[in-house]
Amino acid sequence: MSSPSDMNATNVGELAAEQAAHQKNGDPHVSDVDLKPAFFDWLCRMGDTTLILGHRVSEWCGHGPALEEDIAQANIALDLIGHTQMWLGLAAEVEGAGRSADNLAYLRDAMRFRNLLLVELPKGNMAVTIMRQFLFDAWHHDYLARLTKSSSPRVAEIAAKALKEVTYHLERSSDLVVRLGDGTDISHGKMQEALELLWPYTGEMFVTDDIDRAIAEAGIAPAVEDLHAQWTQTVTDILQEATLTLPKGTAFAQKGGRTGRHTEHLGFILAEMQFLQRAYPGASW
């Protein structure tokens, strides 16, 4: 929106009033009672996915195979936790029950988490970590790009902020997939193995359910199935360059995270991540 100073004199008052009203009312979706359950759940899907992946990536801190990799992983984890604060912060606001982003992250049990199963799998070796990051980044990047045009200004501004960072994530992860895939026999073999392991979990990123449909109908986000064609194209191109073979099995075998049905791994993450707030409620720096 143009600022009032760009406008000619007759429009200034009107525009200033409109802008003030907009700022006061904020985002109409945030206070839409009918939309609330779906919007809250959808925001948790976004925030929980970045939270759990951020946690997984942070597990490399101090354990990376090279200093630069260690630092890169920590930086990516930091970006993802930053996105989490924005998504879960908005989720808490939409819910309007007096909870904060911290409450949602630290005081919900596994069945309340809405993250993709892909991101809760153990970090594995570097091949699994890099391959997962790439498969996720390719989806995350395209999704955020679409969300910058959301009918919800709050969602759009979070997406615009996050997209700048995720562009670097995808640039890096796609580059590493090529280097390691088209690397030595050992690195090639490990990358192919990682791809086979993760492939059955990728389909979940594209399964549209009732919540996605409600959110799509409100113009907040595209239906996730609409992201599938472009993702497949990106992944096929990069894997081909990496001399890796697209797995033959179904990509849709493992799903449920977005509705709260998780693998056994999530509980262990939460046990570590939530320990302090569970043992010492309200503890702060």
Partner 1 sequence: MTRTLPSITDVWDWLAEVPDPEIPVISVTDLGIVRDVSYDGATLVVAITPTYSGCPAMAVIDLDIETHLAAKGVDSLRLERRLSPPWTTDWITDAAREKLRAYGIAPPIDGTGGSDVMAARAARLSGTSNLSVACPRCHSTSTERVSQFGSTPCKAAYRCTDCLEPFDYFKCI
165 sits near partner 1 (criterion: CB under 8 A): yes
The tally of CA atoms less than 13 A away on the side-chain side of residue 189 is 3
Q: How much of the chain is in helix, strand and coil states, percent to nearest 5?
A: 70, 0, 30
Residue 120 touching partner 1 (CB under 8 A): no
Q: Which is nearer to partner 1, 110 or 238 (CB)?
A: 238
Interface with partner 1 in residues 207-246 (CB under 8 A): 234, 237-238, 241
The residues, any chain, with a CB within 8 Å of residue 113's CB and separated by 6 or more, are 44, 48, 52, 257, 260, 262, 266, 270
Q: Does 170 bind partner 1 (CB under 8 A)?
A: yes
Tokens representing residue 131 in the block: 């391959």
Of the candidate residues 36, 108, 123, 161, the single one contacting partner 1 (CB under 8 A):
161
How far is 57 from 77, CA to CA, in rounded Å? 5
Residue 183 as a binder of partner 1 (CB under 8 A): the answer is no
Q: What's the sign of the alpha-carbon dihedral 8, 10, 12, 16?
A: negative
If one asks whether residue 106 binds partner 1 (CB under 8 A), the answer comes out as no
By the 10 Å C-beta count (0-12 exposed, 13-18 middle, 19+ buried), 263 is classed as: middle
Applying CB under 8 A, the span of 3-11, 94-102, 172-180, 261-269 interacting with partner 1 comes to 172-180
What is the nearest approach in angstroms of partner 1 to the Cβ of residue 158?
7
**3-state secondary structure at position 178:** helix
Query: Based on CB atoms, which residue is closest to partner 1, 136 or 211?
Result: 136
Exactly one of 80, 110, 117, 205 binds partner 1 (CB under 8 A); which one? 80
Q: Is 71 in the site for partner 1 (CB under 8 A)?
A: yes
**7 contributes a contact to partner 1 by CB under 8 A:** no
